[in-house]
C-alpha cells in the first residue's frame, strides 16, 4: 500500500504552477524533477568542496543566494533569487532581506561570543533560515547545506549526517526530522542537534 502510494506520488505529473521557471522542458514528473535537482545539488556540493569559505563570507546575503543558485542553476530560472510571493510558511516576501540580515548578524554575534556550541550555532542558522523561507523552493535542502558548510569550513568540523540522509523520501526519517523542527520552533534544539549527527 505504502509503496504503491509513494510510486504514484512520484509519477505524478507536474502542474503548470510547479513548472514555472523550469529550465528543462523534458521534465514532466515529480520523480524526474527530484532526480534532476539531486544531480544539480551534487554539483554544488562538489563546487563547495573545492573551496575554503571564511565565516564572514558564508554569513552574507550574497553567499546565501549564491549557494541556492549553485544548487538549482540548471533546474530553475529563479535559482538564487528571493521568492516574489507569499507562502503558508515563511515571512512576508517584503521582509525576507531584513529578516535574513538579522539572522546573519545574530549568527556572527553567537560565534564572536561563544553563545552556543558550534553545532548549535549551525543548527539555529538552519532552523531560522528555513523559517524565513527565502526562496520559492529548495529551502529545506539549502538550509541543510549551508549548515554543513558553516560547520565544515567555518568551524573545521565534519558535516552533519541529517539522520543519514534520505529525509526527503524516507517517511519515518522525514517524520523524525519534522518533529525535530517543531521542537526547534519551541526553542528546544536538542532533537534537531541529535538528528543532525545521527
Footprint on this chain of Mg ion (rule: CB under 5 A): 137
Check binding of 163 to ligand ADP (CB under 6 A). no
The residue assigned the cell 505504502 is 2
| Binding partner selected for residue 40 from Mg ion, ligand ADP, none, CB under the kind-specific 5 to 8 Å limit | none
| Pick 60 or 74: Cβ nearer Mg ion | 74
The angle formed by the CA atoms of residues 168, 172 and 175, to the nearest 5 degrees, is 70
Per CB under 6 A, 130 contacts ligand ADP: yes
Residue 131 sits in the site that holds ligand ADP (CB under 6 A): yes
Piece of the chain touching ligand ADP by CB under 6 A; list 12-20, 22-30, 109-117, 139-147:
139-147
Q: How far apart are CA 133 and CA 104, in angstroms?
A: 14
Residue 70 binds to ligand ADP (criterion: CB under 6 A): no
Which one of residues 70, 107, 139, 189 is an interface residue with ligand ADP (CB under 6 A)? 139
Give the side-chain half-sphere CA count within 13 A for 77. Answer: 8
Radius of gyration of the chain (CA): 17
Give the DSSP H/E element, type plus range, for residue 77: none
Amino acid at each position: 500500500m505504502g509503496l504503491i502510494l509513494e510510486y504514484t506520488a512520484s509519477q505524478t505529473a507536474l502542474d503548470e504552477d510547479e513548472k514555472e521557471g523550469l529550465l528543462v522542458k523534458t521534465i514532466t514528473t515529480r520523480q524526474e524533477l527530484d532526480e534532476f535537482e539531486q544531480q544539480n545539488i551534487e554539483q554544488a556540493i562538489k563546487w563547495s568542496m573545492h573551496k575554503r569559505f571564511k565565516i564572514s563570507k558564508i554569513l552574507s546575503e550574497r553567499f546565501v543566494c549564491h549557494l541556492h543558485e549553485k544548487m538549482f542553476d540548471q533546474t530553475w530560472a529563479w535559482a538564487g533569487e528571493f521568492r516574489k510571493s507569499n507562502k503558508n510558511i515563511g515571512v512576508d516576501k517584503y521582509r525576507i532581506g531584513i529578516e535574513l540580515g538579522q539572522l546573519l548578524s545574530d549568527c556572527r554575534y553567537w560565534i564572536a561570543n561563544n553563545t552556543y556550541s558550534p553545532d548549535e550555532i549551525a543548527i539555529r542558522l538552519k532552523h531560522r533560515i528555513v523559517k524565513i523561507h527565502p526562496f520559492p523552493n529548495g529551502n529545506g535542502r539549502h538550509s541543510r547545506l549551508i549548515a554543513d558548510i558553516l560547520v565544515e569550513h567555518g568551524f573545521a568540523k565534519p558535516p552533519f549526517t541529517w539522520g543519514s540522509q534520505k529525509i526527503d523520501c524516507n517517511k519515518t526519517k522525514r517524520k523524525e526530522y519534522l518533529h525535530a523542527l517543531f521542537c526547534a520552533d519551541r526553542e528546544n534544539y536538542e532533537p534537531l542537534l541529535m538528528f543532525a549527527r545521527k
